[in-house]
Amino acid sequence: MLDQALEGVTVLDLTHYIAGPHCTKLLADYGADVIKVERTGGGDPARHLGPFYEDDPHHEKSGLFLHLNTNKRSVTLNLKVTSGQFILKELVKEADILVDNFSPRVMPGWGLDYPVLSKINPMLVMTSISNFGQTGPYRDYKASELVLFGMGGEMHSIGMEGREPLKQGGNVVQYEAGAVAAGVTMAAFLAADRDGQGQYIDIPILETQLGGVDRRHAALLAYQYSGQISTQQAGWLSGALASGTFPCQDGYVEIAGGGPLFPRVIKMLGAPAFLNDPKWLEPGTGSNPEMVEEFNTFFLPWLLERTMQQVWEVGQRARVLCGPLYNTADLLKDPHFTGRDFWSGIEHPFTGSIDYPGPPFRMSETPRQIRRSAPLLGEHNEEVYGHIGYSKDDLVRLRERDVI
């Protein structure tokens, strides 16, 4: 068996839904032992969110949960009661990292905040992911994917002028926050290993958007620099020729071909005579409606005569930045990803073998390995609690009292 990068790292995972579980999934998939602490009763609420295997809303069949929790172990624990809090503290003694994504009042309310836990284990790295951070006037406000993107991200400049602004697909804001949290947590773990002392990390999803590379960081600085505020610019109205989303024969293609990239577009189009005029390379072509129309009179029919794949191939030969608008069916059958063995078939007792998104990155010495599929609720209670000294009889009592 090949090595794992994070072998020997123990993570106590008090996260639920998406942002936190994505963070601990990265740690687990690259080798950490992640113990997922789920609430008694229903467990992680993501177990109750779709898509479900065969559309059956069963808590062991949520595709969202199955994806986010590979390679983790699951225990149930009621942190609202004293015995539950006591058991958690026992687990903290043996953990290197604790990640939670409760709202900021919850962990302190249970007497499980960093000052308490760091006394039990001074080496502990504790990462709290929250909507707005552990301090500040919005600390206790509620949020959603949409709310966080609208406040932190560049939502206001997406969509058509005069219509409502648009979010991105799915729940990507929460994945982004989880990804940032994973790197920062590991860096703090390296520092703890070096200095013999852990620390507390505050990851506000809002700030992972404000400081994030998907346009917001640059739009903020541009406002400071120039006083300009970005506006909604949809489709090929983005201020440059051959730039935006265009229809083609069997779907749509996305192209960025304006400004200094326009010579590549000319090459892609086979250098038609009318584009020989040097006026096409001058600044401001994209905001000149007559030139846009003149260009599109040629360009739009050219696209409609070609499929997504054809535009993509011809474009790439001319080094044009472009791509097809695939749906998931197109994506799953694309030969590039199947040829690279990207999709991971994972066995699970409730679904059989299903294809999941594969490794986000490939490490030559320590490749990602799927050691186990997402755990059943409380599957590892005996194993984990047995390890810290609880007998089978103890576990029966704890179960009776709804502690586990």
Partner 1 sequence: MAKLPLEGIRVLDFCVVWAGPFATQILADLGAEVVKVENVHFVQPLTRGFWIRPTKAQLEGLVPMIGGYPDLEPGQRPWNRCPSFNNLFRNKYSMTVDLRIPSGMEILKRLIKECDVFYENNVTETMDKLGISYEMLKEIKPDIIMVRVPAYGSTGPYKNYRALGVHLESAIGHSMIRGYRDSDPTTNSAIYMGDYAAGAQGAFAVTAALHYRKRTGKGQLIELSQAENAISFLAESVMDYTLNRRVQGPLGNRNNFGSAPCGAFPAKGDNDWINITVSTDAEWEGLCRAMGDPDWAKEEMFSDQFSRWQNADELEEHLGEWTSQHEKYEAFHILQEHGVPAGPVMHARDCYTDPHIRERGFFKRLTHPEAGTHDYPGFMFTMSRTPPVMRQVPCLMGEHNEYVYKQVLKVSDEEYAEIEREGHIGMDYDPELV
Q: Considering only residues 213-242, where is the footprint of partner 1 by CB under 8 A?
A: 213-226, 228-230, 232-236, 238-240
Q: Does 136 bind partner 1 (CB under 8 A)?
A: yes
The only residue of 44, 75, 98, 189 in contact with partner 1, by rule CB under 8 A? 189
The only residue of 19, 30, 34, 379 in contact with partner 1, by rule CB under 8 A? 30
Q: Does 207 bind partner 1 (CB under 8 A)?
A: yes
Q: Give me the phi and psi of 26, to 5 degrees please.
A: -60, -45
Q: Does 278 bind partner 1 (CB under 8 A)?
A: no
Helix axes 145-152, 172-195, angle to 10 degrees: 80
Give the Cα separation of 222 and 216 in Å (integer). Answer: 10
Q: Does 116 bind partner 1 (CB under 8 A)?
A: no
Q: Does 200 bind partner 1 (CB under 8 A)?
A: yes
Min dist. Cβ of residue 247 to partner 1 (A): 7
Output DSSP code: residue 12: E
Min dist. Cβ of residue 133 to partner 1 (A): 6
| CB-nearer residue toward partner 1: 88 or 158 | 158
| CB-nearer residue toward partner 1: 20 or 152 | 152
CA distance readout (Å), 355 to 61, 248, 249, 329, 373: 14, 30, 30, 13, 12
Give the Cα separation of 239 and 256 in Å (integer). Answer: 11
Size of the site for partner 1 (CB under 8 A): 164
Per DSSP (E only), the strands in 9-124 are: 10-14, 33-38, 72-76, 97-100
Q: Does 392 bind partner 1 (CB under 8 A)?
A: no
Contacts of 209 (CB under 8 A, 6+ apart): 148, 149, 151, 152, 153, 173, 176, 177, 216
Residues, the chain: 404
C-alpha torsion 193→196→200→201, nearest 10 = -30
Range 337-356, binding partner 1 (CB under 8 A): 337, 339-340, 342, 351, 354-356
Q: Does 64 bind partner 1 (CB under 8 A)?
A: yes
| CB-nearer residue toward partner 1: 33 or 84 | 33
Range 69-108, binding partner 1 (CB under 8 A): none
Pairing of β 251-256 and β 243-248:
antiparallel
Q: Smallest Cα–Cα separation from 53: which of 353, 376, 375?
A: 353
Min dist. Cβ of residue 84 to partner 1 (A): 24
| CB-nearer residue toward partner 1: 255 or 269 | 255
Q: Does 263 bind partner 1 (CB under 8 A)?
A: no
The only residue of 10, 85, 165, 394 in contact with partner 1, by rule CB under 8 A? 165
Range 298-317, binding partner 1 (CB under 8 A): 312, 316
| CB-nearer residue toward partner 1: 111 or 360 | 360
- Binding range to partner 1, per CB under 8 A, among 71-79, 146-154, 371-379, 381-389: 146-154
Q: Which DSSP string do the residues of 190-252 spell out, in sequence order?
A: HHHHHHS--EEEEEEHHHHHHT-TTTHHHHHHHHHHH--------TT-SSSTTEEEEEETTEE
Q: Does 146 bind partner 1 (CB under 8 A)?
A: yes
Q: Does 120 bind partner 1 (CB under 8 A)?
A: no
- Binding range to partner 1, per CB under 8 A, among 3-11, 36-44, 105-113, 389-397: 3-11
Min dist. Cβ of residue 404 to partner 1 (A): 26
Q: Does 147 bind partner 1 (CB under 8 A)?
A: yes
Give the Cα separation of 43 and 118 in Å (integer). Answer: 26
Q: Does 211 bind partner 1 (CB under 8 A)?
A: yes
Q: Does 66 bind partner 1 (CB under 8 A)?
A: yes
Q: Does 52 bind partner 1 (CB under 8 A)?
A: yes
Half-sphere exposure of 282 (CA within 13 A, CB side): 9
Give the Cα separation of 286 and 238 in Å (integer). Answer: 8
Quick one: tokens of 329? 């069916």
